[in-house]
Every structure is written in C-alpha cells, then in structure tokens.
C-alpha cells in the first residue's frame, strides 16, 4: 500500500480547500454566526412575523430621516410649563411627562394620592428584572409597598425574585402573543386565564419574599372578568380561618379583596369557576408608587395593539395608571433587514391605541439595549441596533412619547461586550440579556433620566407666574403640543 501517495492526496485536498476559502472569503458575509444562544420557551409574537412577511423591503427614505434629524423639537407651553428645545439626537420628550411629573410632585410634597405605572417589556424584563429595581428606586423616594399586579400563571414564575409564585397545572392560558381572538378579552397583562378543569381544583399560591418594599402581600385583590357562570367560588385560609367567597362576574373587570391587611402568603382554590376569565392578583398598599411588570418573552410590542378598548378602560378605572413604559427591541433585531420603517409605523399606531385605551396617560419608550454579534471572529455591536434605535426614537417623537436611549446610556457602541466581559459581569454570555447586576444598573439608568426630568419639572414649575392648576389624568393632550423647526 502506497501510504505516501494517499498522504500527498490528502494534503493536496487540504491546501486546495484552504486556498478556496481565502479566495471566497471576500464574498462571504462578515456576520457568519450569531453568538446569541437560543432561550428555552422563547416565542416571537405572530403579529411581528406577519409584519415582517408583509414588509416589501423598500429602501428607507434617508432624506426624510435626515430631515427629521436636522430639525429641532420646540414645545408649546402646557399648564404654564415649557421644557427647553431639543434636537433629535438628544431627545427625551420630558414635556410629555408633565401630567406624570405633577402627580409625583403632589405625592412628594403633600403625601396625597398615589402613582401607578404599567411597565410593558419582553425577555429583558422577564422575572421582574429591571422593573424590580426601577420599582424600588421609585418607592424609596416617593413611598409605596407591593409588587403590583401579578399573573395567575407565568412562564417566569420560577425565576422571579420579588415574589414566590406557584400554581396548578390545569389552568388554561390565552396570550396575545399567540391568540388573535380570545374567548374572553385579554387583561392589561396581555393574558386571560381559565380554570376549566372541573375534575380538579385549580389553585394559585403567592408568597412574599424578603424584598425591600415587598416583604408582604399587601391587600391581596383578585381581578377577573365577566361570565354567565354565577356559581364560581374561591376558597382560601388566613390564619385559622377558612374563607369561602362567591364570585360575581357581572362587569367587564371585577375585583375581590381577599384581605384588608397584609399577608405573608396565600393559596387560593377556584371551584366551579369554569368559563370565568381571571387576570391575576394585585398586591399594593394604595400609597406612593406602584409598578406593574407586564413582561412577555418574544414580544415585539405589536400585540398591545390588540387590546380591547372597553376592557382596558375598565382596568384603568380600577388601577388608575399615570405612566405606561414600553421597553422592546430584543425580539425585533436580526430579521434580515436594517430597515425598521415597518416597525416604526406599527408602533406609532400601538401608542395611539394605548392613548385611546388609557386616555391622558403619559407614555415612555425605552430603546433597545446594545446587543453584540460575532463579526469575523470578534464580538461587536450588531449592525441592526442603531437602525432599530433610531426608528424607536422616531415613533416616540411622532407619537408624543418620552424617550430613554438605553443603548446610549449603557455606553453605546461595544458596551454589551464590556458588560459581559468585565468582572463581575453585568450581562449574560448571549450578549443580549442583562444578569441581576446589569438589570439593576439598567433600571438605575432609566430611573435617573426620569428623575432628572422630574427635578427639572420642579424648577420650571416654581418659575411659573400664575398659581398652578392641578393636572387631571383624564385630560387629553392634542397633537399640537410640539412643532419641528429647522
């Protein structure tokens, strides 16, 4: 056997392959493999997939974008207050938070009323990440206790540190990420839950953790919807007392207080409750600031546009929101295009829909964070981050929402690599998601900008010549509150 002959042939194949790779390397895409590891149970909402499928991949109108970027944003006086002119690059939109700032001012100075925030997000806020610390910062300054509204079931229940959450396996869940036409309207959390297994008792258990400002279950209150079933009941134990209460599902949104006092834990059984839509339990003391975390893995933000207006207004009547935060982007990146005009247009409609659902409530858009991808064997900021970030800022401006540029605040280009590789690290090895340390810092970045806007508001408020008029939550601001000028 001529081994030298076979060795020479094998060597020749290797040389030819290497030369071929070098020859074709210039034609290959720089971005070969993504460093992002797939996350278990991650889904992408159907509305975004449809939007991408419908997108005709037209070239983005660069002249229009440049035109907007060159213009200054000049605000009109609102309630005697006018924030300074801003450029596109530095845009914060604090002018649109005036009703929210006024509520904080009344809370801080007179200790009157309370402030409630709905924080919508994707996997970046899964398990109460970011939101938990954002809530803590606000409650530390303005008061308030409790974790807010919590789902009946949750994909992140096991990883949530702000509350212990368990539930039976026989709950039927419908989510606005997967279902277009639910059997009953979605709740403000984007879900509706049914205890349809009549053979077995459906149950849910909550237990307070040793979390700052959430060490007890404050005034546990059940939220549920309308149904023709008038036989449903809940049963639970407080101390040595076994309590049974009949459900009255007459209105679009109903509430039932299980205890006027605070509890350490509670387990609730649901009996003969089939066909009654349940939404979750609220835990708060009714004072200070409360922040509800409505996170959904795989969410682009577009499903919010499917909210039923009447149902949302019924929730609003119960919960009385002052601010809605939208933090999306992780699931919108990397779909083969750097043109996010399709997302920009649809999210502008989503905000308009939210303003119809929650009249007079301010909206804050938090941009995508930095995300890194492997280019030529080196981790760098993904090429889609800045285009998406720009589109998010554009829809925030056009919808008269305030804006937090999380990408810039965390350090801009290459910052995710630094957050992952520094010791101790602040982000996971998927170069996309923050760990607990990073989530706390990200929350601080969002809170700090919000607080800076509030402190600036107090200065402007003090300079007003006329006595301040209270800002009503149901006042709707017109589309002429700001103008663009070269």
Q: How confident is the model at residue 37 (pLDDT cuts 50, 70, 90)?
A: very low
Is the pLDDT confidence value at 274 over 60?
yes
β-pair type (114-121, 221-225): unpaired
Beta bridge partners of 278: 193, 224
CA distances from 33 to 359, 362, 377 (A): 45, 40, 9
3-class DSSP assignment, residue 485: strand
Percent of the chain having pLDDT more than 90? Answer: 75
pLDDT at 60: 45
Give how far the C-alpha of residue 276 lies from the chain's centroid of Cα atoms, to the nearest Å: 27
What DSSP string runs through 257-292? ES-SS-BSEEEEEEES-TT--EEEEEE--SSEEEEE
pLDDT at 3: 53
Backbone torsion region of residue 12, taken as left when φ is above 0, otherwise alpha when ψ lies between -120 and 50, otherwise beta? alpha
Distance CA(143)–CA(107), nearest Å, equals: 9
Is the pLDDT confidence value at 70 over 70?
no
pLDDT at 26: 47
Is the pLDDT confidence value at 481 over 70?
no
Domains of the chain are 30-144+286-486 (3.40.50.1110), 151-285 (2.60.120)
Cα-based angle 329, 333, 336 (whole degrees, multiple of 5): 155
| Range in 13-22, 262-271, 433-442 with the lowest mean pLDDT | 13-22
Phi then psi dihedrals of residue 469, to 5 deg = -100, 140
Distance CA(269)–CA(316), nearest Å, equals: 27
Query: Which tens digit of pLDDT belongs to each residue from 75-104?
Result: 999 989 999 999 999 999 999 999 999 999
pLDDT at 360: 95
pLDDT at 270: 97
| Range in 222-231, 271-280, 328-337 with the lowest mean pLDDT | 328-337
pLDDT at 220: 98
Strand 362-366: give its sheet, edge to edge.
288-295, 114-121, 323-327, 362-366, 402-404
Query: Which tens digit of pLDDT belongs to each residue from 375-404?
Result: 988 999 999 999 999 999 999 999 999 999
Distance CA(128)–CA(144), nearest Å, equals: 17
pLDDT at 27: 45
Directed axis angle between helix 46-54 and helix 341-357, to 10°? Answer: 140
User: Which sign, positive or negative, has the C-alpha torsion 17, 22, 25, 27?
Assistant: negative
Query: Which tens digit of pLDDT belongs to each residue from 281-317?
Result: 999 999 999 999 999 999 999 999 999 999 999 999 9
What does the pLDDT average to over 147-154?
A: 97
What's the 3-state SS for 125-194?
HHHHCCHHHHHHHHHHHHCCCCCEEECCCCCCHHHCCCEEEEECCCCEEEECCCCCCCCCCCCCCCEEEE
The single residue listed with the structure tokens 């404050």 is 218
């Amino acid at each position: 056997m001529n081994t030298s002959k076979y060795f020479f042939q094998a060597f020749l194949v290797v040389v030819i392959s290497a030369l071929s790779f070098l020859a074709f390397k210039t034609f290959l895409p720089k971005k070969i493999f993504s460093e992002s590891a797939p996350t278990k149970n991650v889904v992408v909402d159907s509305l975004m997939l449809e939007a991408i499928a419908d997108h005709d991949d037209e070239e983005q109108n660069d002249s229009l974008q440049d035109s907007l970027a060159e213009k200054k944003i000049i605000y009109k006086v609102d309630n005697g207050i006018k924030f300074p002119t801003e450029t596109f690059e530095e845009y914060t939109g604090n002018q649109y938070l005036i009703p929210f700032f006024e509520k904080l001012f009344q809370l801080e100075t007179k200790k009157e009323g309370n402030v409630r925030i709905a924080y919508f997000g994707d996997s970046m806020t899964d398990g109460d990440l970011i939101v938990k610390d954002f809530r803590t910062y606000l409650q530390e300054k303005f008061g308030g206790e409790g974790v807010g509204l919590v789902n009946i079931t949750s994909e992140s229940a096991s990883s949530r540190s702000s509350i212990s959450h368990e539930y039976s396996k026989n709950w039927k869940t419908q989510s606005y990420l997967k279902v277009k036409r639910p059997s009953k309207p979605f709740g403000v959390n984007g879900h509706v839950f049914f205890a349809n297994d009549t053979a077995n008792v459906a149950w849910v258990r909550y237990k307070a953790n040793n979390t700052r400002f959430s060490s007890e279950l404050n005034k546990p209150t059940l939220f549920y919807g309308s149904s023709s079933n008038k036989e449903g009941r809940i049963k639970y134990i407080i101390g040595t007392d076994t309590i049974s209460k009949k459900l009255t599902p007459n209105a679009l949104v109903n509430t039932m207080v299980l205890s006027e006092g605070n509890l350490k834990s509670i387990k609730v059984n649901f009996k003969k409750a089939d066909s009654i839509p349940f939404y979750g339990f609220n835990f708060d003391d009714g004072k200070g600031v409360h922040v509800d975390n409505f996170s959904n893995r795989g969410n682009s933000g577009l499903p919010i546009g499917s909210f039923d207006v009447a149902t949302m207004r019924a929730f609003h009547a119960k919960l009385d929101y002052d601010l809605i935060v939208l933090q999306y982007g992780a699931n919108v990146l990397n779909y083969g295009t750097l043109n996010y005009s399709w997302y920009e247009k649809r999210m502008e409609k989503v905000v308009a829909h939210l303003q119809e659902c929650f009249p007079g409530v301010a909206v804050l858009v938090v941009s995508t964070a930095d995300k890194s991808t492997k280019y030529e064997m080196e981790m760098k900021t993904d090429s889609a981050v800045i285009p998406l970030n720009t589109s998010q800022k554009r829809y925030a401006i056009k919808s008269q929402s305030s804006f937090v540029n999380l990408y810039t605040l965390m350090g801009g280009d290459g910052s995710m690599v630094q957050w992952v590789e520094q010791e101790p690290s602040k982000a996971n090895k998927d170069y996309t998601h923050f760990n607990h340390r990073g989530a706390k810092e990200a929350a601080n970045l969002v809170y700090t900008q919000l607080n800076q806007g509030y402190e600036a508001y107090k200065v402007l408020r003090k300079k007003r010549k006329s006595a301040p008029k209270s800002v009503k939550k149901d006042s709707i601001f017109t589309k002429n509150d700001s103008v663009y000028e070269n």
